[in-house]
Amino acid sequence: MKSAFPAILVVDDQPANLVAMRRILDKMAVELVLVESGEAALASCLEYDFALILLDISMPGMDGFEVAHLLQGSSATARIPIIFLTAAYGDQESLLKGYHVGAVDYLQKPIDDRILRAKVAVFLELHQAKAALHQKSAQLTSLNDQLEEIVRERTAELGDLHQHLQSVFDHALDAMIIIDHNSRVVDMNPAAEHLFGYSRRELLGQDMSEVIVPPDYRALHKKALARFAGAFSCLPGFGRRIEMPGLRSDGTIIDVEMALIAVTRQEKPLFIGFIHDITDRKQLLRSLRETLEVAESANRSKSEFLANMSHEIRSPMNAIIGMTDLVLNADLPKDQKENLEIVQRSSQTMLDLLNAILDLSKIEAGQLTLEEIPFDARGQIEGVCETLAVKAHQKELELYCHISPDVPETLIGDPLRLKQVLINLINNAIKFTHEGEVVVRVEEVAEESPHKGAVKLCLTVSDTGVGIPRERIDHIFDRFTQADGSTTREYGGTGLGLTISKHLVYMMDGAFQVESELDKGSDFIFTAQFGIGKRAQRRVFRGAGKMCAFDWPGESLAGVRALLVDSHATGRKIVGEMLKLFGAEVESVNDFHLMPGVLSRAEGGGKPFDVVVLDHALLMDAELERFGADIVARGGLGLVMMPSHLELEDLPGLSGFDGAAALKKPVRLFQLLGQVKAVLGWEPSPKDPEAASLIRDWREMGAMEVLLVEDLLNNQRLASCILERAGHRVTLAHHGEEALDILAEKTFDLILMDLQMPQMGGLEASRKLRSGEGGWAKNREVPILAVTARVRQGQEKECLDAGMNGYLRKPYRVAELLSAIKPFAKKRKRAEKSRKTSAPQVVLKQVQVDPVELETRCHQFRKEVPGQLEALKQALGEAHGRIALKIIGWLIDAAEGIGAERVASGALRLRGQVELADWQAAMERFASVEEALEKVWAVLKKGSH
């Protein structure tokens, strides 16, 4: 199909991308043909003579590689330049594959307007050059045919025709050079003279490779010419298009494109080169490559940008979590308290997921690492299910969680990453399920014992949802990919969740498996390896037909008869197994209307039930009131209702029933035990939260003067509220410079120092304070606790090197903050008692102890310290951390026992450096401890204390 402008084919299965491409290229003098599939692209090539094809790689059906392969296989389309469009530019294998099937370049999505227009302009120029050369070649062929005809018919006119051809040759705009098979110049036109700076007379008969080919390429040129001559003997229609450097007479090297064809003269091949100067175009391409390198450098800066932004993004989340934590410590109604607990857990989950998203840059760079910390396996997994239960119940779905008793109670690994994988899978299951249930199962893979002290778990998330077509299962883990094109529009999502989850599972030494059937649901199964943690007071008992190990709180349910009423087979199985694990005798029915008969038969047989565990969904509101009256009439029968998201007070007819309790689904193991024991009257519900207890303890310990150095208002208010409720006095500073000014005027017992602040950060402020060179010298030894939300490798060591005494991560939580400053408060209280009982001593502070006991301690100190000191020095020299930490702990206790606070303080810092395995700094600190001990010896020898 003819057109006034060169035609460009754009192939992309996303209509929005086609619209964007039309917008970008709209003002260029081109005819755009936009298609959405590979098949349509091949069909269009039969109708148009395209100057360029912009081809998307990832398309349903026929992908870009297959389309390019088919185009290259056809003589009609083999020479059309193809630029691939892709979002995965960094995949080297894909790049090589693309060039193998004929691609000349790549464009990375999202498309940069300027780069696209520049590249299109280059290839349009090439197309115009090709068209011109093709036209000239056609003209020459036509003239040659006319010449042969004239030779046959009008031999007399041969001279005039030769003169005409020579004129065409002389006036051609492109350089033309004719050489024989030995590379000798047979002829050249004026355009060639102008291009290379030689006259025709200078080059005739000369070896072209020795004149206009740069020295480094001459041997290669001769080999190629010999190869071309051999090819011509087999294929007389031989032709090639190549790019090569050219050498001008003044020594300048230029870039040229040469269309090389072969003709015959006296049965010998002649090679005609149509040469075009492409130096400007090559310079443009080099400029584009430099631009691309700048873009890649900017992409490498993304990780640092995300890390900086995370500090600002986390701040409001930290305030939500911290303020909710404070409100939870107040005296609240039960329903409000549980709602706030869900808000707190959900906020923490959001913060965890935000951190995971920010870690995407680390995943791409291969810098993501997993933590190795002990965590409560059951608590973490059940907590995830409880948080997501509201979303499931809003869709009237059942969400169950079954954790095998074989699973160790405490694991060692990264709980955040495990929760991230589970949250993604459960969220997907809820999203793609319209009715039925979602079940989370966790069990040990017994036949795969990785090594001693480790366990491999199999975690399964099953649903009864829409399922996945079998042919799409292998693609759902690809980036930005979902089961089909309509999934994103109907359900939302980015298509990144499963990609990240698969990467995390791989880092946990596990693997993914997916089993699914369309319209019948899916099973997402993955394995993960963890270490086994140690927990005290573990009891081995028999339950559910096997031996199990748990930390068993309080009494078991041995001798308790429970009736479980639930219409869902999965619910009856899971809750029934939980009750049996505690030793209860369980009978199940699937219909509420069968329950009265079962209760009556049990009473008549002399084996009445003690408790009924009932799914609230089985009852209509009218039946519920009648059922409550029936339970009351029976007397002594405990009732545990299992509503999806209601409180007991919301259940008509049961709000005033003393023997009832509500247990939201999904049921948690130890909550079930607690509620059953509560309705049986065996133990009251737990009260007095840990945080409130901590605050009471602090008030008894006494107030401290605390300097809070924090730039964010929300964090200031949160930390101040926690500290002031514990009885402390708080002074605020917004940055390091303001803190130093305050420290020059007032003394403090403790400094909470944020690390990242305007004007002066926490590290710089701490170094200046420890130097003691300013007016703040009186506060030089005040303990400093570093506080930050941004955690990176090596940051704890930087804090210790700056003279800080501890490290606390945001958000501010009541228990964590008060626990972190507890050692400093104890030390201040001991010092305060010493000041009240005696005058302060330079080396040994007064200790509140019986004089005889103090003399015993001093004698023991003089006797044991020299040997312990020698052993410590040897342990530090040989980098034996465990031995060194044990001796340092003894030294701290012994020094504090006799009032040698400088020795104890130095040993505390020494312990921090040993924990960080900084052996050089530890040896330097050891020397200062020895120096402090020398002063202690001098005092002890005089017998004064």
Which of the given ranges, 48-62, 125-139, 903-917, has the highest pLDDT on average? 48-62
How far apart are the C-alpha atoms of 691 and 688, rounded to whole Å? 8
Beta strand 239-247 with 253-265 is antiparallel
Q: Which of 366, 437, 441 is nearest to 407 (CA)?
A: 441
Residue 812 DSSP symbol: P
The pair of three-digit structure tokens given for residue 561, joined into one six-digit string: 């008869």
- Judged against a pLDDT cut of 90, whether residue 459 lies above it is answered with yes
Local structure of 900: helix, strand or coil: coil
- Judged against a pLDDT cut of 70, whether residue 410 lies above it is answered with yes
* DSSP H or E run through 399: strand 398-403
pLDDT in tens, 726-766: 778 889 998 988 988 898 888 888 999 988 888 888 889 88
pLDDT in tens, 365-389: 566 778 888 888 888 898 888 888 8
* Average pLDDT score over the chain: 78
CA distances from 720 to 728, 741, 814 (A): 9, 20, 11
Q: Which amino acid is at 283?
A: Q
**Per-residue pLDDT, 463:** 94
Residue 635 phi, psi dihedral angles, 5° rounding: 70, 135
**Per-residue pLDDT, 495:** 55
**Per-residue pLDDT, 313:** 66
Q: Is the pTM of this model over 0.85?
A: no
How far apart are the C-alpha atoms of 945 and 465, rounded to whole Å? 78
Local structure of 850: helix, strand or coil: coil
Hey, CA dihedral for 307, 309, 314, 319, is it positive or negative? positive
Q: Which of 682, 685, 693, 754 is nearest to 726 (CA)?
A: 693
How far apart are the C-alpha atoms of 34 and 636, rounded to whole Å? 77
| Count of C-beta atoms within a 10 Å radius of residue 801 | 16
* HSE toward the beta carbon, residue 193, CA cutoff 13 A: 14
**Per-residue pLDDT, 633:** 59
Residue 57 DSSP symbol: S
Tell me the chain's radius of gyration from C-alpha atoms: 41
Local structure of 39: helix, strand or coil: helix
CA distances from 400 to 382, 523, 750, 848, 870 (A): 10, 14, 48, 58, 59
Contacts of 826 (CB under 8 A, 6+ apart): 701
**Per-residue pLDDT, 458:** 94
pLDDT in tens, 783-797: 998 887 655 556 777
Beta strand 410-413 with 521-532 is antiparallel
How far apart are the C-alpha atoms of 814 and 718, rounded to whole Å? 9
Q: Which of 479, 483, 549 is nearest to 514 (CA)?
A: 483
> 């857990």: which residue's tokens?
345
Query: Any idea which of 36-40, 314-318, 803-807 has the lowest mean pLDDT?
Result: 314-318
CA distances from 795 to 191, 268, 291, 799 (A): 68, 77, 35, 6
- Judged against a pLDDT cut of 90, whether residue 187 lies above it is answered with no
| Count of C-beta atoms within a 10 Å radius of residue 456 | 18
**Per-residue pLDDT, 464:** 92
- Judged against a pLDDT cut of 70, whether residue 551 lies above it is answered with no
Beta strand 454-463 with 521-532 is antiparallel
| Count of C-beta atoms within a 10 Å radius of residue 114 | 11
